Amino acid sequence: MTTTDIPTPSASDPLPQAKRDLLPVLLPAILALLMLPLVGSFSSWVTLTVASLAMGMMIFIMASGLTLVFGLMDVLNFGHGAFIAVGAYVATLVLLPLAAMSGADSLLTNLAVLVPAVLAAMAVSGALGVVVERVLILPVYGQHLKQILMTTGGLIVAEQALYALWGPQIIPLPLPTSLRGSFIIGDIAIAKYRLLVMLVGLVVFVGIQLTLNRTKIGLLIRAGVENREMVEALGYHVKRLFLGVFMVGSALAGLGGVMWALYREQVHASMGNELTVLIFIVVIIGGLGSVGGCFIGALLVAMVANYGGFLVPKLALVSNILLMVAILMWRPRGLYAVTSR
């Protein structure tokens, strides 16, 4: 038996670097630049781009939880939209009774109601996430069909419960006074709330990325995606980790729900249902379980919606689907496929 000459790796060798795959990252920028001549006027292009970025960040915040849950736990939660609606409704509990404070013309007073509202929304939707994971999802780990059925049933019950508690009417939710209006630079107007939304979106994105890539919990999560049994054998409570991820994902959905409700300035129980489709498209485009892909997917969906709405209003309504089909033709498993499933 001849031994072939295989280079044995020594301890001092650096780990082989994963090949950088930059094209999807550049895609939103390329798309934005391509749209500049099509839109024509620079000021409306800036407005559209800012609107796209803001909308994209909000969709990302809502979708990131879903993609985390899928990536780690292999659970596709069709009831994710329920957390969005619950978050928005909880925020109205804080914002509407204190309407005087959010209507005051002072940033500090406004924030004094907005921050507790957001925190309450995240706390309630996160806590609800824990309950849902324990009650609905724990019995059906590893059974995709039942997961879809269970979580869809959960969505129905949640939506009906919201109707029962708050009534079927649309609740108006005005934006705090100091977040209204826009900054004017030359002939370009940039809405203040959109800037805030972009800031929050970036913070969430960077936060998730740093947690996943730089902390021990992130290491365990990524290891759990690769090989759950092995991580368990090393003595870590993967179940508890799963529960934590589900809670964070639900809380993020709640946060996204508040932001979306303030953006639209209204709350309705079917908003979760409506956003679910959009979020699924983003998760598919990004590649199941990939946070980075989800981020890019959200930006792309928002851009196509905004530019499309400006250029070809009729087409804009199905632009999401066209985008999804195009991306899947190019990369059948999404932009960045993380899981081997």
The residue ranges that bind another protein (CB under 8 A) are 76, 78, 136, 139-140, 143-146, 148-150, 152-154, 156-157, 160-161, 163-165, 167-168, 273, 276-277, 280-281, 283-284, 288, 314, 317-318, 320-321, 324, 332, 341
Whether residue 257 contacts residue 87, with contact meaning beta carbons closer than 8 Å, is answered with: yes
* Of 168 and 172, CB closest to another protein: 168
* Of 47 and 320, CB closest to another protein: 320
* H-run or E-run covering 238: helix 238-264
Q: How far is the CB of 324 from another protein (least distance, A)?
A: 6
* Of 29 and 157, CB closest to another protein: 157
Map residue 166 onto helix, strand or coil: helix
Q: How far is the CB of 24 from another protein (least distance, A)?
A: 19
* Of 104 and 148, CB closest to another protein: 148
What's the maximum distance between 2 C-alpha atoms anywhere in the chain? 86
* Of 49 and 320, CB closest to another protein: 320
List the beta bridge partners of residue 266: 172
Question: Residue 218 corresponds to which amino acid?
Answer: G
* Of 210 and 318, CB closest to another protein: 318
Whether residue 255 contacts residue 61, with contact meaning beta carbons closer than 8 Å, is answered with: yes
* Of 140 and 223, CB closest to another protein: 140
CA dihedral of residues 226, 232, 237, 243 (deg, nearest 10): 40
Q: How far is the CB of 201 from another protein (least distance, A)?
A: 23
Q: How far is the CB of 291 from another protein (least distance, A)?
A: 18
Give dist(CA 278, CA 259) in Å, integer: 16
Structure-block tokens of residue 333: 């498993």
* H-run or E-run covering 267: strand 266-267
Instruction: Tell me the C-alpha to C-alpha distance, in Å, between residue 124 and each of 51, 64, 129, 134, 255.
Output: 29, 18, 8, 15, 10
The radius of gyration computed from the CA coordinates of the chain, to the nearest angstrom, equals 22
* Of 88 and 159, CB closest to another protein: 159
Q: How far is the CB of 151 from another protein (least distance, A)?
A: 9
Whether residue 256 contacts residue 80, with contact meaning beta carbons closer than 8 Å, is answered with: no
Q: How far is the CB of 277 from another protein (least distance, A)?
A: 4
Name the DSSP letter for residue 133.
I
Name the DSSP letter for residue 271.
H
Question: Residue 103 corresponds to which amino acid?
Answer: G
Residue 177 CA to its chain's centroid (Å): 26
Q: How far is the CB of 325 from another protein (least distance, A)?
A: 8
Using a 10 angstrom Cβ sphere, with 0-12 exposed, 13-18 middle and 19 or more buried, the burial of residue 96 is middle
Q: How far is the CB of 336 from another protein (least distance, A)?
A: 15
* Of 34 and 321, CB closest to another protein: 321
Structure-block tokens of residue 146: 């039942």
Give dist(CA 272, CA 258) in Å, integer: 11
Q: How far is the CB of 318 from another protein (least distance, A)?
A: 5
